[in-house]
Structures are given as structure tokens and as C-alpha cells.
Amino acid sequence: MADETLISWADMTFNPWIGCTRVSPACDGCYAAHLMETRMGRAVWGGPGIGAGTRDRTSVANWRKPIAWDRKARAEGKRPFVFCSSLADVFDNEVPHEWRADLFALIHDTPNLVWLLLTKRPQNIVKLFRSALNIDGGAEYTARLWPRNAAIGTTVEDQERADINVPALLDAKVALSPAFAFLSCEPLLGPINLRDLRQYNPRRKPWINALSGAVTSGGLPTGPSECGISISTSWTSPKIDWVITGGETDQGQHKARPTHPEWLRSLRDQCAAFGVPFHHKQNGEWVSVSEVAGPGAHFKFDDGATVRRIGKKQSGRTIDGVTHDAFPAVAP
């Protein structure tokens, strides 16, 4: 709930409410849950076997802050990035629709801010946006109402989550026409190939390259599909506009899992090959032994690659000695 943030890919953070439920491996070391459990105590975090937890709406004074940020941004001719819900999830289905409606009204009223709506539930984006606005119409009506200064993003920590979440995010991009669509690969817990997503669903859709928009059969049988259209040829899909990566940090009893340096390099190189902005936030507690010298416990991956545990302050933000700070272009 701060005017400024140390997060390298945003200028400010805003939390309209606090509270969430763990839904994926990326949530195992949730900093927001640890903060609530050890210091703030404003919400009880939910999770498997313990229920949905609680949600606490923030103060009226806090909700006024973005209005002041927008006024300042307009005067300075800037478009600052606002990370919305660092202590929650905008598209959490346990949140009252009225709260979400109030948030979108605020986003509409602050056109000089670029809102980053990051979720672990991209399948809910279109459904919950429509519910918040009591929309019964089709995608055309919805797209007209989506604020053009709001971007949508999802967390993908490994290939399984990429195969599930990225296609859902791209579906939402088509339906809503957001400012852009982005991925947060933090904490990065496994290798991710964004050039060959498997579209994890029972209908076995063709595979896609999320960085170029190319769609191919991806090894599926060629010939007529269920709708009578051949899938042996290529066509295009929406694509991801920005990729953020980061290693994990310790959160209380949960100790950070190591990130293989090649997982980071691979995403860096994939983005470079297709001209997609790439931003590396942090290495986390562990870093490649070739990146930072010094003492620290070692972890060796099966392929022999070794990382050293030196703490997030010393591990830095570089990959092979280079800082990656790219941001996506934003339309006026």
C-alpha cells in the first residue's frame, strides 16, 4: 500500500484489499501470507485443506492515493506503472463483485496510470470482470468497457503452469483488449518453453508460440479437426508483450528453492529472438557460482550446474553480468 515500491518492474503498488488463497507451487513461499502471519495480521491466508481464508478491504484514504498519483503523472507527462494487489489477487473469486467493480471504476478514473493486474487465476479474468460490471452481453461490449490503461498478467513458475495459464491469458487478451499482456516467471521453479505451449485442455487445441503468435499442429494429427478445418497449416494467435523473471526468496519456514541459471537464460534468449521485452527482477537467495563470487552453500543440479546460496541482497539482478530492465511500450 505504498506510494513507491522497490519492485523493479513497477513504480507504485496499490492494494484495494488484502488476502488470498494458495493455488499453485509459486504460492508455497508467498511473501504476502508470511507478512500477514508474522506482522500485519489483517487477513488469514487460505490454502488447500484450510479453506478460503479472509479478505480485508483497505481504507478509504488508501483508495484515494491513485487519484493523487494520476494527477501528478498528468502534470509531469508520465505514465507510471502501478502493480495492483501485491497482497491479494484481483481475480480471486472469493472477493465480492462490488469491490472489483469499485477497482475498475478507479482504474477508469486514473488514465495516466498504467495498471498491472497480475493474477494466478487467468481463467477468471473475463468472467469476473463481466460479473463486476453486471454484463450479460458478448465480447464486443466487454471490450469497449475494459480500461485501456490496464494490463493483464499471470504467474507461470514452470512448464505445467505455462501450458495452463498462458493460453487462458491470451484468450482474455482477445476478449478484453488490455494495454498489454505479460508474464511473471517468479519464482522460476523449472524450465519454460514459451515457443511451444501445449495448450493443456481436454480438446487438445493446436500448440502456440506465445512470443510470436504462430500456431501450428504441434505434432497433433493433421487433417480435418472437429470443426472441419485442417490444422496442418499455421495461423496466428495473440502474443505475450512482456516477460518478467525472478528467483525465489526465503519466507519464514519456507526456504527458497534454487533456480537453474539456464532457465533464466532460456527465457532471456526466447524473448530476444522474438523481440519481446524481458525484465529480470532478481536472482533471489541463490545465484550461479559464475555470477557472484564468495562463500555460501552450494546446490548442484542433475546436469552439474551449480548455484550458491548467498542471500537476495548479494545475489543481485544480473544474468551473465547484464541487467535486463526492458519495459513494454504503452499506447497514449
Q: Please write the tens of the pLDDT for every residue from 14-35.
A: 999 999 999 999 999 999 999 9
For CA atoms 10, 14, 53, 171, the dihedral sign is negative
The rounded radius of gyration (Å) of the Cα atoms in the chain is 20
Cα of first residue to Cα of last residue in the chain, in angstroms, is 26
The answer to whether 27 and 254 are in contact (CB under 8 A) is no
Tally of structural domains, the chain: 1
User: Within a domain: residue 1?
Assistant: no
Q: Range with the lowest mean pLDDT among 213-217, 288-292, 320-324?
A: 213-217
Residue 132: the pLDDT is 83
Q: Is 155 helix (H, G, I), strand (E, B) or coil?
A: strand
User: Within a domain: residue 329?
Assistant: no
User: Within a domain: residue 330?
Assistant: no
User: Within a domain: residue 328?
Assistant: no
Neighbours of 285 (CB within 10 A): 25
**Which residue range is the domain that position 45 belongs to?**
12-323
Question: Helix 159-176 and helix 125-132: axis angle, to 10°?
Answer: 40
Reported confidence tier of residue 96, pLDDT bands at 50, 70, 90: very high
More confident residue, 214 or 273: 273
User: What is the distance between the alpha carbons of residues 149 and 169, in angstroms, rounded to a whole number?
Assistant: 17
The answer to whether 301 and 286 are in contact (CB under 8 A) is no
Q: Please write the tens of the pLDDT for every residue from 140-199.
A: 444 458 999 999 999 999 999 999 999 999 999 999 999 999 999 999 999 999 998 875
User: What is the distance between the alpha carbons of residues 11 and 115, in angstroms, rounded to a whole number?
Assistant: 10
User: What is the distance between the alpha carbons of residues 150 and 116, in angstroms, rounded to a whole number?
Assistant: 6
**What percent of the chain has pLDDT above 70?**
88
Q: Please write the tens of the pLDDT for every residue from 97-145.
A: 999 999 999 999 999 999 999 999 999 999 999 888 775 444 444 445 8
